[in-house]
Structure 1
């Protein structure tokens, strides 16, 4: 076990503005005042091996088996009870390259009481199309774990496809979250670096879709009367959404990459349009201006906006009791910032309260069964780290 001293940064308002950059902004959104972290935390860090471009992880509910996706197209699992590292067969072929490949992994919490040898598994990945096109998909199958170091996926079937498939290899997003009652599945669908389709609700690029657990559009979606694929859409006007989760009160939040500046944390509302690419508090990469959000622009406003960017990898609301004072806070994995970013949420308002230096790009952070944090570093050789209070 390694102790990383002074990992936590207890930030004064001045220090926080310096760490975020003078462009840290809440203009156009709800108030997000920077305040010091309530307590200083030291993390005890234990390494649990390294992986090839790890992208997402999830615990099999009711067990201590942690499954990890690798972007190039593999799934491995760590059995924390025995320490064994296992492999998963039956993984789909993926279109690997750029930001694409194997993506998210999700299990149904309601199946925690079932035999761990037969569970429903949801995966997202990038699927090739015709004429050099590709797009994100979500598949569902059965996970069978009949040996100590080997599991297999049986009957995997694509139940949702991003529409349309387009050229390029960026902004797939394809994060998966289930509603607290597990009646619905929400999937983030990025703009695929095409920008304008995010304002065109006749496709699913730049949207969050709400689906039944079998991948069909959910009844009551705001654009249901427009037919397929509009009937899948819950919100639109998004860019590249890499984190999504429900808070303790049942509100849905997402975090997305802005262009050159303007990363956003948004409270997701039914039928809301978040403005991309018509409005952003960032600019185009070539320096061309994008109009900032204004109070009367007709678009839903962010809760927090970051310039310079934090480049989020994912996010999770902390529900446990292991870390004093953290329950209910949002934790964001930072790629560019090489940090964990902690955000306090109060109703519809949010504010960054701390930033914990991790020395490496962080792709993912999730909460374990007992409240420990499980962190994946980004890239080749990205380590799996267990964080506990020191």
Structure 2
């Protein structure tokens, strides 16, 4: 990057975090009483993923991705760019996507990134890992540890959420890349949840390791475009995924299971036409919950109850098309509450900070917000 452009970028980023007197917080009435929504950072471009670093009230800082290919470190009232990133294919829905900080970061300093990687004929979802330098300015020894088979020139459905499993393996969601029937083909990664070891190798107990022709990384399949993934308080993996016109799903992920797309769905094609064979078929999983009409869900967390005990175990989801944050009851997996405010414009990611506050990324506002009691 030319020196002058770097200087302008650093100057711009030094203005990202609120300084001096902060902007007034928005008060929102909820089932747990009044909450305050306050800005953490603004001036962002297409923020996509958020992860906290260990230590301190909101961690030792936070990392946020911007889809065009920037990774920012938010710390001590400043936002600074992190160098050493992979080349990304930033077109359509592709680009630099999720970021995950593993539990052993204090020892390893590893950071995982998912992104659209340029491939022959287009792009495909990939996973990289590098070590964050001590000053936070660079990812060192960055290496791509996985890339999907057969990317294409379409700009849709990269999926791309990363979750660390309780046993230290890594779950990665991949969308169908706009080719629905490939989500039913085990020889392709399209429309699947993968399970990988930390170095990108395949765990020996994955369900399709010994199935001829199958991709051994696959943990579950038959997904359309999973843009939310999280562990519940018992350590089970859940995802949500976009339907077409209706049929957004919340699914508890089971080893080796087929979630049906595009053979079964509770939605319809954008043209209004019927999808597949209906809503049920033997051997295919039913969603725990679905939305019709669609909310275009993105981001997902199971809340610990640290600041709001009444919400312990509940699920929080952002909406890209309805400008909402939605709370699902964790026991019934049914909608319990919808919040909309000027800040909840195209909510891309939602996370619980180490202090129990809830942070979310607003694409529409180009900002990060923090929710606290009162």
**Is 2:159 the partner of 1:163?**
no
Q: Which residue of 2 aligns with 1:27?
A: none
Larger RCO (CA under 8 A, 6+ residues apart): 1
- 8 Å CA contact 2:258, 2:285 repeated in 1: yes
**Is 2:98 the partner of 1:96?**
no
How far apart are residue 87 of structure 1 and its match? 1.5
- 8 Å CA contact 1:320, 1:370 repeated in 2: no
Counterpart-to-counterpart distance in 1, 2:48 and 2:77: 21
Counterpart-to-counterpart distance in 1, 2:346 and 2:112: 26
CA-to-aligned-CA distance 1:178-210 (integer Å, 9 cap, x gap): 11232x100001100100000111111000011
Q: Which residue of 2 aligns with 1:4?
A: 26
- 8 Å CA contact 2:162, 2:229 repeated in 1: yes
Counterpart-to-counterpart distance in 2, 1:326 and 1:135: 37
Q: Which residue of 1 aligns with 2:369?
A: 385
Counterpart-to-counterpart distance in 2, 1:388 and 1:50: 22
What's the TM-score once normalised by structure 2's chain length? 0.88
CA-to-aligned-CA distance 1:260-316 (integer Å, 9 cap, x gap): 00000001001110100010000011111124323x533111000100111111101
Alignment of 1:68-217 (within 5 A): 68-79=64-75, 82-112=76-106, 114=107, 119-131=109-121, 133-146=122-135, 151-182=137-168, 184-217=169-202
- 8 Å CA contact 1:64, 1:369 repeated in 2: no
Q: Which residue of 1 aligns with 2:330?
A: 345
- 8 Å CA contact 1:61, 1:108 repeated in 2: no
CA-to-aligned-CA distance 1:147-171 (integer Å, 9 cap, x gap): xxx5101111110111121220110
> Which 5+ residue runs of structure 1 have no aligned equivalent?
9-36
Q: Which residue of 1 aligns with 2:7?
A: none
Bigger mean CA deviation after superposition, 317-326 or 217-226: 317-326
Alignment of 1:285-300 (within 5 A): 285-290=270-275, 291-294=277-280, 296-300=281-285
What's the TM-score once normalised by structure 1's chain length? 0.85
**CA pair 161-260 structure 1, distance change in 2 beyond 3 A:** same
- 8 Å CA contact 1:282, 1:292 repeated in 2: no
**CA pair 331-161 structure 1, distance change in 2 beyond 3 A:** same
How far apart are residue 7 of structure 1 and its match? 4.9
SS of 1:45's partner is strand
Q: Which residue of 1 aligns with 2:44?
A: 51
> Which 5+ residue runs of structure 2 have no aligned equivalent?
1-22
Counterpart-to-counterpart distance in 2, 1:72 and 1:111: 25
Structure 1 segments, 4+ long, off by >4 Å, are: none
Bigger mean CA deviation after superposition, 66-75 or 150-159: 150-159
**Is 2:50 the partner of 1:60?**
no
Counterpart-to-counterpart distance in 1, 2:176 and 2:120: 19
The alignment of Structure 1 onto Structure 2 pairs a total of residues equal to 346
Q: Which residue of 1 aligns with 2:19?
A: none
**CA pair 167-354 structure 1, distance change in 2 beyond 3 A:** same
Q: Which residue of 2 aligns with 1:18?
A: none
**Is 2:200 the partner of 1:236?**
no
How far apart are residue 60 of structure 1 and its match? 1.3
SS of 2:25's partner is strand
Counterpart-to-counterpart distance in 1, 2:79 and 2:28: 31
Counterpart-to-counterpart distance in 2, 1:254 and 1:283: 20
